[in-house]
Structure 1
């Protein structure tokens, strides 16, 4: 009651209220600055400590001074300047020391700092009281003095402890309120301890009005506190901008981003919240270790794979990158980048699957097949071994052409499914690519291997030919299967694959046999074909080909009208390989193009130096005719060799034209525009001779030699020859008969009006364009 009486009766309540305002504002600002100082490091910490000490000391001293001015003792009093100034220094210094100690990291530091704060406030108060000058005896009641100091110390410890450890939501309000209580309880309890006894009357004293002085002190205090508050607000705004910028950076990442501080998760982006499926309130200040396995033990600059547990309990594989950092306040932070690995792991599984399986049919691919084949060869070194089946679909191209590639793909998927449904344990089926498949079938019966392999091949073939139901019709295709047995047919897996392919090609070529087993004769034929192919390449590179020329003779004048260039391939032993043997190989391998160019160029170069400017006939392969660059090549050869185009005659077969009549006709017209002649070779043995003659105006028709061989014994051949000669006469196209070897053949052709002949009777092919021999001249005249 003595304290209450002192407050109510001995103080100006207006000034008391002003002191309270200064105290409340100062306490709030001081506690905020103290919080900022505790979270700062280095120079920032010293700066905030200075501002907090200045704000705290000024607010305490101003509260005390205004409250002293509000005190109305019975005698007029004044204040001694030195002790009054010293009390201000004590307040500021004491606040600085208390905050320095209270900011340490050990557990009791805030308690010790709060106690120092209470002592500093008490020392400031009683130092200021000692500076009071009045005509009275001042007596302090010690129990009240001790009570005031205890209240200041205890409440100071409470304020600092709340500022350090209370919930962030209520920290500032509680700590500021307790600090106000510490200051107020000290002051008014201390004032209640003072007993004033006037002496010697009341001297005359005039000076500044206490009210004006109180408001002046309050103004200065608020100005100082306002400066500190402005600095605090500006810094908070700067930090808020940085937080917003950091938040924007976090949100801009597709990965989950988390910033963890001392008290838990401080910031996180939307991607992380969606990944864990938790609300913002649940994530804020929670431990990162509660979401990510072993997150607390992860070191700086590491990237590890871990697991994330969602709010719903789902476990998600993640990749976590960790980096340590410090905020502006010096607080240790850890930044976590959390990447969801589900899609990547799924893609890796997909890539691994595609690396070993066909993307369309899901059957094992060639790589898987080769690995399986090597394992099987290692496990089955001895009989009975296993059978390798090379499977090629028949008429599959027709499905693509008729219905489109999408339907073709559906058919492949259907076939793959049918084969997977019929394979037995231990058997293996893979897709090589396109419409080619392979199968590996373990053999168990030593005495009946072929029958066992054939049964498996037949089972797979029946699955393949099972029709697929389309939109309007059933569709399907056949299969040609080649079988090679291990280890009977090969000692290496590569040879086994080759042998199975050889058998498959044999089955594909056979009309009545869908399943064919490998035989050694197939290998010999392939090796011979490969030898011929390599020999052609070597002969072309080493200029081993030779050109022979066979004369073409006019029937009526018995004179040579030209020569046909014939290609010969001489071997090292002096023998020749027949063109009928190596020309088809050259056409299949594409070597006919460089060989044909060599023949045309060499023939033109040699014919340019003949004694007489006779016609030069050169054969064109169907492959050459199908090449769109042929007219340019012929034109270039004529320019390079200087050979007259009018002397060049290009011979083509009607078989070469029938593949693409429109394209062939277009190319032939381009050739004829160069000035060269075009002759139809082997007339009468093609598909549609009359339509071919109608499609293009040939300069000559060459009657095939096959009719000459049957002329004497076959009346049909005679009739065909007469018809061809009549056709040529009607179309005004000269006819040359090939293969004339007897006088009777020559006489028959002369009687029927044939224009030219060519054959052994009048001249054999030779390295040079020789004139007719005397014997040939006499034969021609005798005829």
Structure 2
């Protein structure tokens, strides 16, 4: 036994060893539970945090009082019951708060959580020593208190940091060792500088818990708590092992290729992510897409395509190595996983092995087919700490590479996510653009080429974003069509253009483009009719422009809608003629009022012989069908002269006027009229007149 003298305490070595062992084992179990909490979400996460806090807090509580019992002098001593219980509560609560903060993903979260735990441990020791009564007096040394604070806060922060940011698989064992070492050294620093003086006149109150009784109670309670915690860990480990076995049983759910399916992949991803966190490894997720596989089905048939997928799966399965997993998501898309401590180098090597299986041609009957695969990959937790996000990152990388070139291997970069996030934000903004009055209509004048007189204008939608300024139609129109925001935007454009024309601000005919999405609505004709009634514009002054691809998506219904518009007296123009199907059958099935010749041909006039031949053919076709042709993109007098001589009826382009807003339109009309009145307009060598926007 230890002895009490007029000086510092003397340790009972066996009890000190017991205190350290209890703290080490309890914190080791707690850190394992903490690691499981980091790898889970929702209610399960809080369950693991609670188990980690109870186990670690009870171990710290036990080691505190066992260490105090190791200092028990030959004097009578005991512990206050309420304070003793309060020490346990402080230990559990401080661990719960510290682990909760430390399990978050913001910067310095582990260190802050460790500081909270350190404060709790300090409070436990001071309250525990305060609850300890001896037949004597105790004097505290200020230097011992300072050292205790430094050791407690610093080592506890280091412990939670190592548990939260493991470098190797042994870091969590080290975290438990650091926490146990902290408790032992902190307690030693506190007590070795404390002076106890025996005093026979001091009587220990009878209501205190005797030291030997508390010792037995502490050991029994801690063994129960830690045994329960360790059993929970073993049960969880067994459950995870059984889950791995179940994943193995699900490994051949895709009946065609023999590969795991998407469900098995998700389970494997969940298991591997938890395992990667446990072992401080990294996990790479892959998205593999066969390029041009739809063409295989179209040319050779779906049966041949299925046989090709079986061969592809067999080849890819043949290059898998330990720690790698491959699944088929659907169609021609495959998913992969790879556990490694050397990412992204190993991930790149895995992707190159997969890409190499496509280097050798595939045999479909007597036909040899060469394929490529676009592959994207992302690494967990380097690229993202969220398990479910890593696959989305891999798919984003794959699609980004596919847009650049087929057959590329593309690693996820945060810039990709920034770009995708910006596109998603722009897509959300475009849906509210009409309601926020951010849309504008610009008008480009159309002229009669034989005399240069204004005969109408085309309405062009523009979007002035409140932060990004003017957004190109090539950027926001596809987003609006994808989200169907183009429907209210198109109605706004129709209503605004018709109102401006009805108020006399636009001369002649007003032309408005119709989106394929608008054309998919059965009530399109009725909507346009209601707008004409609302604005008071004569149907004869409205011209709608549609591309041939818009009609071809559902030709019967498209032609039916066009005939309804035609019956109202509305003119219909075929836009971008020469760039799409350019089917003579469509021109024959529906008598368009106008053909708009695409500017890609006009820009090459008159020097390009091929473009000139195409333009002459289109103009001849228009004359034979009795349909006037309007040429887009006229920028030079030479182009104007060529088109006028070849019999093109109308035109528009920068030579006459740029697209401008309604407020600038009167000045542009005046400039174009002066240009038409100039007798020199038809003479060779005329300089182009461009109205300033």
TM-score, length-scaled by structure 1: 0.47
Alignment correspondent of 1:427: 324
Alignment correspondent of 1:679: 573
Distance 2:331 2:637 in 1: 58
- Selected match of 1:599 from 457, 473, 493: 493
Distance 2:276 2:390 in 1: 14
Distance 2:527 2:414 in 1: 43
1:377 to 2:273 alignment: yes
Distance 2:289 2:645 in 1: 56
Give the 3 Å change call, closer, same or farther, for CA 368–722 of structure 1 in structure 2. closer
Contact 2:373 2:406 in 1 (8 A): no
- Selected match of 1:452 from 349, 359, 368: 349
Distance 2:489 2:309 in 1: 40
Give the 3 Å change call, closer, same or farther, for CA 730–491 of structure 1 in structure 2. same
1:653 to 2:547 alignment: yes
In the TM superposition, what whole-angstrom CA distance separates every residue of 1:368-411 from its partner, at most 9, and x where no partner exists? 43343244334435987232111234555567668887887787
Kindly report which structure 2 residues correspond to 1:604-683, keeping only aligned pairs within 5 A, or say none.
604-610=498-504, 614-657=508-551, 661=555, 664-683=558-577
Distance 2:275 2:282 in 1: 9
Distance 1:425 1:401 in 2: 37
Kindly report which structure 2 residues correspond to 1:566-585, keeping only aligned pairs within 5 A, or say none.
566-572=460-466, 575-585=469-479
Contact 1:457 1:515 in 2 (8 A): no
Distance 1:459 1:713 in 2: 48
Q: Which consecutive residues of structure 1, in runs of 5 or more, have no partner in the other structure?
A: 1-348
Give the 3 Å change call, closer, same or farther, for CA 737–459 of structure 1 in structure 2. closer
The CA deviation at 1:538 is: 2.4
Give the 3 Å change call, closer, same or farther, for CA 490–595 of structure 1 in structure 2. same
Give the 3 Å change call, closer, same or farther, for CA 593–355 of structure 1 in structure 2. farther
Deviates more, 1:576-585 or 1:510-519: 510-519
Alignment correspondent of 2:436: 542
In the TM superposition, what whole-angstrom CA distance separates every residue of 1:63-120 from its partner, at most 9, and x where no partner exists? xxxxxxxxxxxxxxxxxxxxxxxxxxxxxxxxxxxxxxxxxxxxxxxxxxxxxxxxxx
Contact 2:443 2:459 in 1 (8 A): yes
Q: Which consecutive residues of structure 2, in runs of 5 or more, have no partner in the other structure?
A: 1-244, 682-693
Alignment correspondent of 2:333: 436
Alignment correspondent of 2:410: 516
Alignment correspondent of 1:776: 672
Kindly report which structure 2 residues correspond to 1:203-602, keeping only aligned pairs within 5 A, or say none.
364-380=260-276, 385-394=282-291, 397=294, 423-443=320-340, 445=342, 448-458=345-355, 479-509=373-403, 512-513=406-407, 515-556=409-450, 558-572=452-466, 575-602=469-496
Distance 1:388 1:447 in 2: 11
Distance 1:550 1:406 in 2: 53
Distance 1:466 1:518 in 2: 29
Contact 1:616 1:648 in 2 (8 A): yes
SS at match of 2:432: helix
Give the 3 Å change call, closer, same or farther, for CA 562–759 of structure 1 in structure 2. same
Give the 3 Å change call, closer, same or farther, for CA 407–758 of structure 1 in structure 2. closer
Q: How many residues align?
A: 432
Distance 1:624 1:565 in 2: 16
In the TM superposition, what whole-angstrom CA distance separates every residue of 1:119-165 from its partner, at most 9, and x where no partner exists? xxxxxxxxxxxxxxxxxxxxxxxxxxxxxxxxxxxxxxxxxxxxxxx
The CA deviation at 1:616 is: 1.6
Give the 3 Å change call, closer, same or farther, for CA 749–409 of structure 1 in structure 2. closer
Alignment correspondent of 1:767: 661
The CA deviation at 1:536 is: 0.7
The CA deviation at 1:705 is: 2.5
The CA deviation at 1:681 is: 1.8
Give the 3 Å change call, closer, same or farther, for CA 435–667 of structure 1 in structure 2. farther
Distance 2:349 2:506 in 1: 71
Distance 2:467 2:305 in 1: 52
Distance 1:542 1:776 in 2: 33
SS at match of 1:541: coil
SS at match of 1:380: helix
SS at match of 2:390: helix
Contact 1:651 1:681 in 2 (8 A): yes
Contact 1:383 1:486 in 2 (8 A): no
SS at match of 1:540: coil
The CA deviation at 1:702 is: 1.8
Q: Which has the larger radius of gyration?
A: 1
Give the 3 Å change call, closer, same or farther, for CA 383–683 of structure 1 in structure 2. farther
Contact 1:725 1:752 in 2 (8 A): yes
Contact 1:461 1:479 in 2 (8 A): yes
In the TM superposition, what whole-angstrom CA distance separates every residue of 1:256-315 from its partner, at most 9, and x where no partner exists? xxxxxxxxxxxxxxxxxxxxxxxxxxxxxxxxxxxxxxxxxxxxxxxxxxxxxxxxxxxx
Contact 2:439 2:464 in 1 (8 A): yes
SS at match of 2:528: helix
Give the 3 Å change call, closer, same or farther, for CA 546–377 of structure 1 in structure 2. same
Give the 3 Å change call, closer, same or farther, for CA 737–400 of structure 1 in structure 2. closer
Give the 3 Å change call, closer, same or farther, for CA 755–407 of structure 1 in structure 2. closer
Distance 1:595 1:423 in 2: 51
Contact 2:373 2:407 in 1 (8 A): no
Contact 1:565 1:603 in 2 (8 A): yes
Contact 2:285 2:377 in 1 (8 A): yes
Contact 2:347 2:377 in 1 (8 A): no
Alignment correspondent of 1:328: none
The CA deviation at 1:582 is: 1.5
